[in-house]
A and B are shown apart, each in its own frame.
Chain A
Amino acid sequence: MEASKKAAAKSAPLATNGSNGSRQLLGVTVDPQEIKQKALMDLNAIKQPTKTEVYKSIFRVKHDQTARSRTLGVLSNVFLHLHPARVNRDAVRFSFTWGMGGISFYLFWVLTWTGVLLMFYYHPTKVQAFRDILYLEHDVPFGKLLRNMHRWAAHAMVLTVQLHMFRVFLTGSYKKPRQFNWSVGVILLVLTLLLSFTGYLLPDDQLGFWAVTVGTNMARATPMLGHEGPFGPQFGMTPFNDVRFALLGGSIVDANALLRAYIWHCIAIPGFAATFMIVHFWRVRKDGGISGPNRIMLESEIKPLRR
């Protein structure tokens, strides 16, 4: 009863107070002029959103052309801080890098997103896999575009990764101090090929089935670990315990192989690839950034080797 009486007192009619139209509202003096001022301030914020506290809390750096802002703009952004603040002026040219490493990374990004969307419509089982592809192609809105883009981006990525390696070789960028990063890059190349290969089986059609059959048949010839390889039988290898069996989860390409390909393709290899990519990008920065275009060195300037 006490509480309801207090509430009733609070909602009592406003008392007029003073001549300038200001009123007492819940114990606060309300001045129409002041409210107008505040409304104008909010309107001004719409005109100049960069001045608002919300904007400043998200983007900590001013968007102007001073060197400080440009540097901080890159360094204080979680997505951009992969970059250094400044680069070699000639490295910005397309002709030196061909942009292939960056394009490979972007294609990996495209493949991740299209792949996740495809996973919504796909079951890795012998009963449903092929039907899911038909469903994607004929019923899912933009399903065909999605699948096409996933496949062509994969093809493109295999090409761009090879071209990236070709460029890095031609510019001698694997030389000291970047030796280790080249090796990480080779592993990423292998992972790219494996990613593409494991994806080949997933539609469960003739093309993928026979491609994977041809591919994994080679595994039975592994020396010592395959039942048809040199010294395989001497090591006790049969079609039911060799390395091919481990890859396929069986002696033929069947339901288990489909499930294994799916898990390798969607979880394991992307995980490895992402991990190695983190190392790769990190080392690009830690090894002194992009390798060039460097100042050319004369033969007479070779320093004697210290061991």
Chain B
Amino acid sequence: MDWHQLWTIISLPDNIPIVGMIFIIPFFTWFGLRQGFANDRLLEKLEGDPKLARAHHRKTQPFQKGWARELPVWPYLLRMEFLAVVIVTFILMVWSITLDAPLEEPANPSLTMNPSKAPWYFLGLQEMLVYFDPWIAGVVMPTLIIIGLIVIPYIDENPLGNGYYTYKQRKFAIWTFIFGFIILWCSMIVIGTLIRGPGWMWFWPGMTWDHNRLIFEINRDLHEIIGITSQPWIGIFGGLVVGGFVTVAGYACHRLIVATEFTRRILGRMSLLQYAILQALLIIMLALPVKILARLLFRIKYVWVTPWFNV
């Protein structure tokens, strides 16, 4: 256990956001879901008691007759904003006084940094480069992430949970987002920052970052394992494998979409186009962890090799 190495990575000023993220993201996940669960308990109570449901103010926050439903912005909101600004400024001041922004040697194209890393928020994408070719990891996937995020409101046909925390009414949406945001995006940033060392090799926390380390890993393409040796059969085989994955993943996603009576009801509200876009995005999102596992567990490099592109 190389504690010095661990401390070196964790205490790097540029890594503060990532170390902070390890605590901040779980905290806010808990903080949000806790309010969701509180609302869910109220929901159950109101569903069992229609009379109460009519009379109730429908919030977990306290409310009594005679209280104003709205408050003047000045001073009630503005003082909170002022307080937030003061606190943020204070944190920023202390942070800037105690920790210096990194400055390396002058840029030198003939001396490659090892490991040479992108800014921390792009390390998830850089980590993806291990599993996919650059055109997928660096171009197609980021584009799909942006498009996928933008279309969320247009494919989510669930009218419940609008403007309040809830888990029970939006299980599918919340799990999808947590899967994409925390399990894929955030954890890959953490891996890219803290785990990937020289040569972008995997170093468990506490392992020394040895610049001379060699890993004798033979990554093979799927068709080589099967024993197919010539095109066009390689391409056709890969196409079939990818097609098979799409079918299986699509079926699995469909089973989730029709899992309960409520989700079937939401599906009934969706148009064919909305369903197709949802399925396409879910399948591509699932392809990422599947390829990660194929690479890490079975050392598979490509599953689909064609003369023009490899997947």
Contact = CB atoms under 8 A, between A and B. Distances in A.
Interface of A: 67, 70-71, 73-74, 80, 83-96, 98-99, 102-103, 106-107, 110, 130, 133-134, 137, 144-145, 147-153, 155-156, 158-159, 162-163, 165-167, 169-176, 178-180, 182-183, 186-187, 189-190, 193, 196-197, 200, 203-211, 213-215, 217-223, 226, 228-231, 252-253, 291-300, 302-303, 305
Contact of B139 (A147, A214, A223, A305): A223
B61 interface: yes
Contact of B21 (A159, A174, A299, A305): A159
Nearest to B167: A170
A155 B92 CA distance: 11
A67 to B, nearest CB: 7
B183 interface: no
B250 to A, nearest CB: 23
B105 A294 contact: no
Q: What 8 pairs across the A-B complex have the smallest Cβ distances?
A: A218-B138, A294-B163, A292-B163, A221-B134, A179-B153, A295-B58, A209-B107, A210-B116
A215 B109 contact: no
Interface string B18-62: 001100100011011101100100110011000001000111010
Contacts of A172: 160-164, 166, 170, 173
B76 interface: yes
A294 to B, nearest CB: 3
The A contact surface, by secondary structure, is: helix
Interface stretch (B1-9, B81-89, B227-235, B291-299): B81-89
A86 B262 CA distance: 36
Contacts of A159: 17, 20-21, 24
A217 B134 contact: yes
Nearest to B71: A89
A210 B105 CA distance: 12
B193 interface: no
B106 interface: yes
A99 to B, nearest CB: 5
B121 interface: yes
B122 interface: yes
Contact of A170 (B24, B80, B174): B174
A180 to B, nearest CB: 8
Given A167-B32, A252-B109, A298-B46, A89 B68 contact: yes
B39 A206 contact: no
Contacts of B66: none
B119 A197 contact: yes
B240 interface: no
B107 A110 contact: no
A145 B121 CA distance: 23
